[in-house]
Structure 1
């Protein structure tokens, strides 16, 4: 069996060494990912809510331009 200098096998599946190396970070990374997703969704929801409350009644809409024949 030849030497492999990668954490993946020939089918590109993670080998046990890679899984052991990632194990301490799984929970922290999951919590961080959930926090970032929550932040993005809350900013998006706030923006949509703030924009939907805008009233454009004070904006003067120009008349339709004259058609020249």
Structure 2
């Protein structure tokens, strides 16, 4: 495992500078506002019901198919 880590680090440092990502341009730093907007859309679109039904059906299916 140590050999693989050394190999990856050696190859990474030999990459040209224009291939490595050094910085990002953040256009909207309001992360909490973005999460709130996504959650509101998730609830309004009805996807939350699909998630809850999927979790319940998956739980029942798992209990029906487990052995022992």
TM class by smaller structure:
0.3 to 0.5
TM-score, normalised via structure 1 length: 0.40
The structure with the largest alpha-carbon Rg is 1
Relative contact order, higher structure (CA 8 A, sep 6+) = 1
What is the TM-score with the length of structure 2 in the denominator? 0.41
